[in-house]
């Protein structure tokens, strides 16, 4: 599993999800659509490696990939050589670990198979992963020492397998074999492609093997998930598959494959996609891993696989380490902390925050002790990126890397190992300022979280009533977790920054995060127009609605309303209309004409995994509000009697902290005190609809909607009742 700067300097692409505004992300949030973080490595000017162009009809890429450019670049090999030659630590220990694995020696010869079987009768897959480890380690010995005898032996392994292997089979585990060993074998070949002693025809034959033996199984799994419920497969299944597709894309210069992996990581429906793998972000940016309630062996496996994906993409100029405000780091820190012990020997997992997680295997209510603690050699790659490359604090990842010690052989084939040699970097001179500061209104209080700075010993939170200050100190001496909840202020707008105390002094402030403690309109559609296809936003925020497929203006509860025919009419709101909302209110007057179950008053989301909706009548009868980040699993709901048809009814949904409330005609009809899935957890929402469902088979809304409002903050019962007369 496992895993610096490409020989050709790159301008890294960043990916924003819309969950946090650019101002909230700040200089350390690597997803921000702005300048480079202020670190020695990333501050250097970078030029595009090549413009991305459309693929040819044959599927061949016209993008110029960096080679070697998977887990290692030529600059990485130069660093390894120089450090080992100088006897520098920890590289020398890492190199000695490589020499002592038993798999990096010239006495090893390939044992290729025509058919690899993983799972069921006749399993022989160990023969493949052992030979891959030998190939990879021989390649590293060549790059570090310059001794071509190791290169020649690595080539012998690559050629033997590419001229013999024709298939991978077995039970469902065949997809694991194609994924884990696919990305590993591609990495070994990517190192050797620069060796003049590997004939072009032999490289081409190896590429063909990767495209015809490994990739078809990778693609099949992402599309079909072995014809099972998609949640049947835990995160590591997708993650090894994504790593393999991306690696094969680079090795074979196939942009279409590379893009397939990248797009799935950002938007895919399976548990290996970023928002499902790190499924819940707790205050202080502790990211609950999708497999945390399963066992720790698979958690650390997934972390290693995801890190490999991020490192390989990084070396091609794409930053998924920083994607979605360092979402992967949040997950790595959570898993690392789960597998560590404090000074008294107590396991951290006993006090770790946990949000109940449901899939088709059942419901997990806490971190599983199975396999605890699990020490896997995958942490050097993660620690050295975030701390020594970027200057962020990653304290639990650092502790796990220290716990593992010098990373030697990968062992059972789950990871390539030898990460101390391959990924160690000189300590960064100074940490970057705190960043990624976010502020949310949760239960009427301001909840702050931020990313820390390497070498920081504590943090100070400051608050102002005007942008840019002057600031006053709210609290200092914050250490762990990096979160603070502020309260007791008058209703109004507030501006926060965080600084870090380090051995060299106090850092510059973080990005400034703004929040209002008052309940304010995010969007207000009175629907009082009488012509045209646009419903103007009366809040002044420009959240206008578009009437689509023949939606009409009609007499409403107050003035006019939008009339929807129940066939295909709906109103579309702009993307990310509920982005960043924790406490919220959505309210409207609704005239339902009746019809089939599951039509929508509104449905905001990005597809059938992440959404929030209100339906007049669900399948079992009754009006339902539902919010989920797990598709059909783990939905959090409010429900009451079916919405009356043929009359105007005022409906409202509020969330304050973890308390959700459903109102009908100003009265409370349902309360849920365990609603943790706030709108901001949906991520970017590109499909925000009045009258239409995320599910294509669901019916459209038949009736009218008037005075549709979205608030930042939760209205109380008196305020909801007042909407009926406003």
Q: pLDDT digits over 286-338, tens only?
A: 999 999 999 999 999 999 999 999 999 999 999 999 999 999 999 999 999 99
Cα–Cα nearest to 403, from 296, 521, 264, 542 = 296
Which of 443, 465, 337, 328 shows the shortest CA–CA distance to 385? 328
> In CATH, what is the architecture of 435-516?
Sandwich (2.60)
SS3 letters across 266-323: HHCCCCCCHHHHEEEEECCCEEEECCCCCCHHHHHHHHHHHHHHHHHHHCCCECCCCH
402 contacts 7 by C-beta, under 8 angstroms: no
- Which residue has 């590429």 as its token pair? 207
Residue span(s) of the chain under CATH 2.60.40.10 come to 435-516
> Of all residues in the chain, what percent carry a pLDDT higher than 90?
88
Assess whether pLDDT exceeds 70 at residue 352: yes
Q: What mean pLDDT comes out for the span 15-27?
A: 40
More confident residue, 10 or 509: 509
pLDDT of amino acid 527: 98
With 70 as the cut, is the pLDDT of residue 17 above it?
A: no
Q: Output Rg (C-alpha) for the chain, integer angstroms.
A: 27
Please give the Cα distance from 179 to 241 (Å, whole number).
4
Which segments of the chain belong to CATH 2.60.120.200?
Answer: 520-723
Average confidence (pLDDT) over 478-495: 97
Contact between 186 and 178 under an 8 Å Cβ cutoff? The reply is no
592: nearest Cα among 511, 650, 673, 551: 650
Mean pLDDT for 446-451 is: 98
Which structure tokens are listed for 694? Answer: 């995320």
The DSSP element (H or E) to which 120 belongs, if any, is: none
The tokens of 659 are what? 């308390």
160 SS3 class: helix
Residue 527: which H helix or E strand, with range? none
| Cα separation, 424 vs 410, whole angstroms | 16
Handedness of CA 92, 94, 100, 102 (dihedral sign): negative
Confidence at residue 12, expressed as pLDDT on a 0 to 100 scale? 75
pLDDT at 6: 32
The confidence score (pLDDT) of residue 1 equals 33
| DSSP SS3 for 230 | helix
β-strand partners of 458? 501
What's the mean pLDDT in 59-84? 90
Judged against a pLDDT cut of 50, whether residue 18 lies above it is answered with no
Residue that the structure tokens 């002044």 belong to: 540
The region of weakest confidence among 155-169, 306-320, 399-413, 624-638 is 624-638
Sequential DSSP letters for 699-724: PPPEEEEEEEEEEES---HHHHHHHT
Task: Give the bridge partners for 613, in sequence order.
Answer: 603, 626
Averaged confidence pLDDT in the chain: 92
Q: Is 425 helix (H, G, I), strand (E, B) or coil?
A: coil
Sequence ranges of the chain with CATH classification 1.50.10.100: 22-423
Q: Are strands 520-525 and 702-712 parallel, antiparallel or unpaired?
A: antiparallel
| Residue 567 DSSP label | S
3-state percent helix, strand, coil for the chain, nearest multiple of 5: 30, 25, 45
CATH topology of domain 22-423: Glycosyltransferase (1.50.10)
Q: Give the Cα-Cα-Cα angle 268, 273, 277 (nearest 5 degrees).
A: 145
pLDDT of res. 490? 97
Give how far the C-alpha of residue 708 lies from the chain's centroid of Cα atoms, to the nearest Å: 32
Residue 11: per-residue pLDDT: 65
Measured distance CA(353)–CA(367) in Å, rounded: 9
Beta-carbon contacts of 561 under 8 Å, excluding residues fewer than 6 positions away, are: 527, 553, 554, 555, 589, 591, 704, 705, 706
Residue pair 301/1 in contact (Cβ under 8 Å)? The answer is: yes
- If one compares 78 and 347, the residue with the highest pLDDT of the two is 78
Q: Closest by alpha carbon to 430, among 507, 355, 378?
A: 507
What was the pLDDT predicted at 10?
52
Answer whether residue 354 shows pLDDT above 70: yes
Q: Cβ neighbours of residue 110 under 8 Å, at least 6 residues apart?
A: 131, 134, 156, 157, 160, 161
Give the residue carrying structure tokens 């799935």: 264
3-state DSSP call for residue 326?
A: helix
Characterize the bridge pairing of strands 472-478 and 493-502: unpaired
- Whether the predicted pLDDT of 255 surpasses 90: yes
The answer to whether the beta carbons of residues 173 and 132 sit under 8 Å apart is no
Instruction: Tell which residue, 81, 4, 33, has the closest CA to residue 390.
Output: 4
Q: Is the pLDDT of residue 56 over 60?
A: no
What's CA 59's distance to the chain center, in Å?
27
> Is the pLDDT confidence value at 125 over 90?
yes
The model's pTM: 0.92
In this predicted structure, the answer to whether residue 39 has a pLDDT above a threshold of 60 is no
Structure tokens at 555: 């007499």
Residue 16's pLDDT band, with cuts at 50, 70 and 90, is low
Q: How many residues does the chain have?
A: 726
* The residue to which tokens 């349902």 are assigned: 670
Q: Which residue has the higher pLDDT, 47 or 137?
A: 137
Which positions ≥6 away from 320 have C-beta within 8 Å?
A: 15, 262, 265, 274, 309, 310, 313, 314, 328
E-assigned strand segments in 365-492? 435-442, 445-451, 458-464, 472-478, 483-486
For the cut 70, the answer to whether the pLDDT of residue 131 exceeds it is yes
Average pLDDT of the residues in 46-68: 52
Angle between helices 173-192 and 200-209 (to 10 degrees): 160
The percentage of the chain sitting over the pLDDT mark of 70, rounded to a whole number, equals: 92
**Is the pLDDT score of 60 beyond 70?**
no
Residues 6 or more apart whose Cβ sits within 8 Å of residue 60 = 253, 254
Q: Please give the average per-residue pLDDT across 472-488, as a whole number.
A: 97
Residue 446: Cβ within 10 Å count: 23
**372-382 pLDDT, tens per residue?**
899 999 999 99
The CATH code for residues 520-723 is: 2.60.120.200
Nearest residue to 253 via CA among 8, 10, 56: 56
Assigned token pair, 541: 């925020």
Which distant-in-sequence residues (6+ apart) come within 8 Å of 291 by Cβ? 234, 235, 236, 298, 299, 302
- The stretches of 73-213 forming alpha helices (DSSP H) are 74-85, 91-99, 126-145, 148-162, 173-192, 200-209
In this structure, the strands spanning 167-169 and 115-117 are: parallel
Summarize pLDDT for 676-713 with one digit per residue, the tens: 999 999 999 999 999 999 999 999 999 999 999 999 99
Tell me the C-alpha distance between 464 and 181, whole Å: 53
Q: What is the pLDDT of residue 31?
A: 28
Helix 215-224 crosses helix 235-251 at what angle (to 10 degrees)? 140
Task: Provide the 3-class DSSP secondary structure of residue 238.
Answer: helix
Q: For residue 24, is pLDDT > 50?
A: no
More confident residue, 342 or 114: 114
Q: 360 vs 233, 335, 363, 630, CA distance in Å?
A: 9, 22, 8, 11
């Amino acid at each position: 599993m496992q895993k610096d700067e490409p020989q050709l300097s790159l301008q890294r692409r960043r990916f924003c999800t819309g969950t946090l505004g650019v101002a909230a992300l700040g200089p350390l949030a690597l997803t921000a659509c702005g300048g480079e973080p202020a670190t020695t490595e990333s501050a250097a000017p970078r030029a595009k490696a090549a413009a991305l162009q459309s693929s040819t009809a044959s599927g061949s890429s016209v993008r110029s990939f960096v080679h070697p450019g998977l887990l290692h670049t030529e600059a990485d090999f130069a660093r390894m050589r120089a450090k080992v030659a100088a006897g520098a630590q920890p590289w020398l220990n890492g190199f000695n670990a490589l020499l002592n694995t038993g798999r990096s020696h010239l006495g090893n010869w390939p044992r290729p198979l025509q058919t690899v079987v993983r799972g069921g009768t006749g399993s022989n897959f160990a023969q493949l992963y052992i030979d891959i480890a030998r190939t990879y380690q021989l390649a590293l010995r060549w790059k570090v020492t310059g001794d071509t005898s190791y290169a020649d032996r690595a080539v012998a392994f690559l050629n033997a397998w590419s001229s013999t292997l024709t298939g991978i089979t077995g039970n469902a585990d065949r997809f694991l074999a194609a994924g884990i060993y696919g990305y590993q074998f591609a990495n070994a070949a990517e190192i050797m492609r620069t060796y003049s002693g590997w004939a072009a025809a032999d490289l081409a034959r190896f590429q063909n093997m990767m495209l015809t033996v490994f990739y078809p199984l990778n693609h099949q799994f992402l599309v079909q998930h072995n014809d099972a419920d998609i949640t049947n497969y835990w995160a590591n299944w997708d993650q090894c598959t994504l790593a393999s597709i991306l690696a094969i894309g680079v090795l074979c210069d196939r942009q279409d494959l590379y893009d397939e992996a990248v797009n799935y990581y950002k938007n895919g429906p399976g548990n290996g996609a970023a928002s499902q793998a790190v499924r819940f972000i707790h205050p202080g940016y502790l990211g609950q891993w999708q497999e945390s309630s399963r066992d720790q062996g698979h958690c650390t496996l997934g972390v290693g696989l995801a890190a490999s994906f991020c490192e390989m993409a990084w070396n091609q100029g794409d930053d998924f380490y920083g994607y979605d405000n360092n979402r992967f780091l949040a997950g790595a820190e959570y898993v690392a902390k789960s597998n560590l012990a404090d000074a008294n020997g107590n396991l951290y997992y006993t006090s770790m925050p946990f949000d109940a997680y449901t899939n088709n295997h059942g419901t997990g209510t806490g971190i599983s002790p199975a396999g605890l603690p699990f020490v896997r050699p995958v942490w050097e790659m993660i620690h050295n990126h975030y701390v020594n490359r970027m200057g962020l604090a990653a304290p639990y990842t650092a502790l796990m890397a220290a716990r593992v010690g010098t990373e030697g052989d990968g062992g059972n084939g789950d990871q390539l190992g030898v990460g101390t040699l391959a990924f160690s970097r000189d300590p960064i001179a100074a940490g970057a300022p705190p960043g990624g500061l976010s502020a949310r209104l949760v239960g009427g209080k301001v909840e702050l979280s931020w990313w820390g700075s390497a070498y920081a010993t504590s943090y100070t939170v400051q608050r102002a009533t005007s942008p840019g200050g002057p600031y006053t100190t709210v609290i200092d001496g914050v250490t762990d977790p990096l979160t603070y909840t502020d309260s007791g202020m008058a209703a109004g707008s507030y501006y926060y920054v965080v600084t870090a105390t380090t051995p060299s002094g106090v850092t510059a402030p973080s990005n400034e995060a703004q929040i209002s403690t008052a309940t304010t309109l995010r969007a207000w559609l009175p629907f009082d127009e009488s012509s045209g296809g646009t419903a103007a936003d009366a809040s002044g925020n420009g959240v206008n609605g578009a009437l689509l497929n023949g939606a009409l203006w009609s007499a409403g509860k107050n003035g006019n309303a939008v009339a929807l025919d129940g066939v295909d009419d709906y109103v579309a709101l702009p993307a990310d209309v509920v982005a960043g909302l924790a406490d919220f209110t959505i309210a409207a007057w609704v005239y339902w004409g009746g019809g089939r179950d599951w039509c929508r008053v509104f449905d905001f989301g990005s597809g059938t995994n992440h959404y929030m909706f209100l339906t007049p009548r669900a399948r079992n009868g009754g009006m339902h509000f539902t919010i989920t980040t797990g598709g059909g699993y783990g939905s959090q709901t409010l429900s009451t009697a079916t919405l009356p048809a043929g009359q105007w009814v005022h409906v409202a949904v509020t969330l304050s902290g973890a308390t959700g409330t459903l109102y009908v005609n100003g009265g409370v009809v349902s309360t849920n005190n365990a609603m943790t899935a706030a709108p901001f957890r949906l991520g970017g929402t590109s499909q925000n609809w009045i009258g239409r469902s995320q599910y294509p088979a669901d019916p459209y809304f038949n009736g009218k909607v008037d005075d549709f409002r979205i608030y930042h903050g939760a209205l109380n019962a008196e305020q909801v009742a007042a909407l009926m007369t406003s």
